Amino acid sequence: MTSDDRKKAAALAAVAYISSGMKLGLGTGSTAKHFVDAVGEKVKQGWDLVCVPTSEATRKQAESLGIRLTTLDETPVLDVTVDGADELDSELRLIKGGGGALLREKIVASSSRQMIVIADDSKKVATLGKYPLPVEVVPFGLKATGIKIDQALAWSGNKGPLIVRMRDGKPFVTDNGNVILDCALGHIHNPEKLAAALSSIPGVVEHGLFIGMASIAIIATENGVETLKK
């Protein structure tokens, strides 16, 4: 079973948690893409679903599948958000933002009664941090903000270089017009303390630590799908 097969298996397993009439948040990324495809199949079968996408890429995919979309202004409370993760630990703390959609992903997840994470088993780790932690920042004052992020890392017992995410030789720009600093920490000490410190910095729009948000993780392995609950 390939990595993509496992991602698809996790996505299909999440369909058991949704039903016609629900309001859904649709995640972003290679695993979430399989879930959006599955939602499209349910819509073709006649299910009544209305969804909020977490990125322009997901919006385009959902529209191509005939999924009815809404916004959080029109539908401010959702039933379930299903999304992937770049890393998750046994306490269902997550690192997200590898695809650059962390701000909208966090807003949508926090507007949902339940967040379900879908992933293949390579994303489950004993300690968060091997995957670089994304921090979305406004372009204005980028260097000054970076200094404050370094200070926040040190204060919370963490250390590692900050790298401006690039694409095609230019800084990657999010759907919200911001840039991302990837923090290569290797190991995150006290994720809660780091999350609070990052959130307090002017210029930081959002960070990729999702703590206390996911209640269920569906993880696909070579031997089948396992479910973790908080």
Q: Supply the residues annotated as catalytic.
A: 105
The three-class DSSP label of residue 164 is: strand
% helix / strand / coil in the chain, to the nearest 5?
A: 30, 30, 40
Distance CA 219, CA 217 (A): 6
Q: Which of 38, 56, 51, 63 minimizes the C-alpha distance to 100?
A: 56
The whole-angstrom separation of Cα 23 and Cα 94 is 23
State the sign of the Cα–Cα–Cα–Cα dihedral 131, 136, 137, 142.
positive
